[in-house]
Amino acid sequence: MDFRLTERQARLKADARALTDLIAGYEIACEENNGLPESDHATIRDAVLDSGLQAVNMPAEWGGAGLTIAEQATVQEELGRLTGALWDMVWRPANALRFCTPEQRERFLVPVIEGRRRDCYAVTEPEAGSDPQNLATTATRNDAGWVLNGEKWFVTVGDHADFMIVLAAAGPEGAPTLFLVDKDTPGIEMTRVPRFMHTFVYEHPEFTFTDVQVGEDAVLGGIGGGYDITRSWFTEERLMIAARTIGAAERALELARDWAVEREQFGAPIASYQLIQGMLADSAVDIAVNRAYTHQVAWEVDQASPEDRKTLHAKASIAKLAASEASGRVIDRCLQIFGGRGYDRSYAVERLYRELRVDRIWEGTSEIQRLIIANELVKRGTGVLALPGSR
Ligand SMILES: Cc1cc2nc3c(=O)[nH]c(=O)nc-3n(C[C@H](O)[C@H](O)[C@H](O)COP(=O)(O)OP(=O)(O)OC[C@H]3O[C@@H](n4cnc5c(N)ncnc54)[C@H](O)[C@@H]3O)c2cc1C
């Protein structure tokens, strides 16, 4: 066994930290203005391109950084330190775009990789959340291709993106299918931009689709492939959430530890009080065990054969569930250690407190992760707990 970061991982970690530190300079402006001006977006885009950390999940031959899952987790852990969801400015195109035809790749994916276009993923609907099979958006075939009708909610980056990956029930059989749709196509309307609990550099708007005409070439990955493609994304995406929440929790603990050592009440640093020490220690435990497991599973995904896919899906759920819940506990304690200052939006712990909450909701709620894990246990037994390589 060798748990050390590879030389390449260590370099990526340092590069990702340098980029994170640079982008962190925009956190307060993002918080105060609920976003950043276009000039800052351009500056950060250039910095991302200079760092070589754009599209880490896409192959180098298409212009991505071509990182392994373990390497991506290392990068995401650093980016997760950022507040305002500024980590999302270091773009990772939707994995579904790997299913592009060569023509679609040139039109959609390559420009995203190069930072010239931006995608967003529209699956959730008013009546289809945890249960995406309850899809009401339809795609009806006509002579020119397909006509989309429906409504999509919570479309992250929907304000900034210039095209959408839309899940719709296609044809009379309602085959779940993904469509690549330019956002300026007639019939698409951004109907509401809700304010959410967190400050996020992009918005999560709602859209309606009224007789939106797209060509036959808008189908991504084949008719009926929508759920499978979306599901195939979950393992990686959930691991990246786990990694980011660990990075966020670690930043919070660093800040809380330093504050506890510096802040004096009743004539002594609060770090000398055992109630504070308990919070620091419990937070260190939450971070350490979740980091180890997340990196283990990320490494396993890189080594996996196709038959391991289902078990790894459950392992990614364990990682996402455990890390997102643990980081929620960590940030709660760290805010407490800061006292009233922890409730002030100019402090990173306050922002992280609001921002980490959604990690228990998106990409499958904590309850849905538990269902996946239980399903794996019932169907295939407790092998999901085994270390890789054990017989
Ligand atoms: C900030 C934000 C950004 C998002 N970005 C995107 C995006 O870019 N694209 C996109 O398509 N979606 C996005 N989502 C949607 C997100 O994936 C959904 O909110 C999530 O899947 C849950 O769906 P829901 O909100 O409809 O909750 P519901 O499915 O209605 O769930 C409500 C509650 O019931 C529980 N529940 C549901 N079913 C079960 C069950 N079988 N057993 C036990 N408990 C259950 C849930 O865990 C939850 O606690 C985003 C959401 C947020 C908040």
Distance (Å) from CA 368 to ligand 1 centroid: 9
Atom 4, ligand 1: residue with shortest CA distance: 154
Domain that holds residue 338: 226-385
Q: Are residues 321 and 284 in the same domain?
A: yes
| Domain CATH code at residue 352 | 1.20.140.10
Atom 29, ligand 1: residue with shortest CA distance: 130
- Per the annotation, the verdict on 38 as an active-site residue is no
Note the pLDDT of residue 307.
80
Nearest atom in ligand 1 to the alpha carbon of residue 156 is 8
Q: Is there a contact between 300 and 312 (Cβ–Cβ < 8 Å)?
A: yes
pLDDT digits (tens, 9 = 90+) for 160-200: 999 999 999 999 999 999 999 999 999 999 999 999 999 99
Atom 14, ligand 1: residue with shortest CA distance: 154
Is 213 inside a domain boundary?
yes
Is 186 inside a domain boundary?
yes
Confidence class for position 298, pLDDT limits 50, 70, 90? very high
Note the pLDDT of residue 306.
80
Is 284 inside a domain boundary?
yes
Bridge partners, 268 (sequence order): 265
| Domain CATH code at residue 184 | 2.40.110.10
Atom 42, ligand 1: residue with shortest CA distance: 367
Is 317 inside a domain boundary?
yes
**Ligand 1 site-directed mutation target among 238, 361, 371, most atoms within 8 Å of CB:** 361
Q: Are residues 299 and 330 in the same domain?
A: yes
Q: Are residues 195 and 253 in the same domain?
A: no
DSSP secondary structure, 248-310, as one string: HHHHHHHHHHHHHHH-EETTEEGGGSHHHHHHHHHHHHHHHHHHHHHHHHHHHHHH--GGGHH
Q: Is the pLDDT of residue 254 over 90?
A: yes
User: Among 220, 239, 259, where does a domain finish?
Assistant: 220
Q: Is 362 left (phi over 0), alpha (psi -120 to 50) or beta?
A: beta
pLDDT digits (tens, 9 = 90+) for 93-148: 999 999 999 999 999 999 999 999 999 999 999 999 999 999 999 999 999 999 99
Note the pLDDT of residue 388.
84
Nearest atom in ligand 1 to the alpha carbon of residue 124 is 11
Q: Are residues 267 and 161 in the same domain?
A: no
Q: Are residues 357 and 307 in the same domain?
A: yes
Average pLDDT, the chain: 97
To the nearest 10°, report the CA torsion of 278, 280, 285, 287: 150
Number of H helices, E strands in the chain: 11, 10
User: Among 220, 247, 277, where does a domain finish?
Assistant: 220
**Ligand 1 site-directed mutation target among 127, 362, 371, most atoms within 8 Å of CB:** 362
Distance (Å) from CA 361 to ligand 1 centroid: 6
Confidence class for position 13, pLDDT limits 50, 70, 90? very high
Q: Are residues 123 and 41 in the same domain?
A: no
Across 315-320, average pLDDT: 98
Q: Is there a contact between 287 and 62 (Cβ–Cβ < 8 Å)?
A: no
Across 359-387, average pLDDT: 96
Q: Are residues 360 and 293 in the same domain?
A: yes
Distance (Å) from CA 220 to ligand 1 centroid: 24
Q: Is the pLDDT of residue 389 over 90?
A: no
User: Among 177, 203, 220, where does a domain finish?
Assistant: 220
Integer Cα distance of 33 and 16 in angstroms: 25
Active-site annotation holder among 264, 363, 367, 376? 363
Is 280 inside a domain boundary?
yes
Note the pLDDT of residue 2.
87
- Strand pairing report for 163-170 and 138-142: parallel
Q: Is the pLDDT of residue 391 over 80?
A: no
The pTM of the whole model exceeds 0.95: yes
Q: Are residues 215 and 233 in the same domain?
A: no
Atom 30, ligand 1: residue with shortest CA distance: 129
Q: Are residues 285 and 372 in the same domain?
A: yes
Q: Are residues 204 and 307 in the same domain?
A: no
Is 104 inside a domain boundary?
no
Q: Is the CB of 204 under 6 A from ligand 1?
A: yes
Q: How many domains does the chain have?
A: 3
Is 2 inside a domain boundary?
no
Across 26-48, average pLDDT: 98
**Torsions phi, psi for 44 (to 5 deg):** -70, -40
Q: Is the CB of 367 under 6 A from ligand 1?
A: yes
Q: Are residues 242 and 345 in the same domain?
A: yes
Q: Is the pLDDT of residue 232 over 80?
A: no
Atom 13, ligand 1: residue with shortest CA distance: 154
Q: Are residues 203 and 251 in the same domain?
A: no
Q: Is the CB of 196 under 6 A from ligand 1?
A: yes
- Strand pairing report for 145-152 and 206-214: antiparallel
**Ligand 1 site-directed mutation target among 34, 123, 125, 130, most atoms within 8 Å of CB:** 130
| Domain CATH code at residue 67 | 1.10.540.10
Alpha-helical (H) ranges within the chain are 7-24, 27-33, 38-51, 69-79, 102-104, 110-113, 226-262, 274-303, 309-338, 348-355, 366-380
Q: Is the CB of 101 under 6 A from ligand 1?
A: no
Distance (Å) from CA 159 to ligand 1 centroid: 20
Distance (Å) from CA 137 to ligand 1 centroid: 17
Is 103 inside a domain boundary?
no
pLDDT digits (tens, 9 = 90+) for 49-86: 999 999 999 999 999 999 999 999 999 999 999 999 99
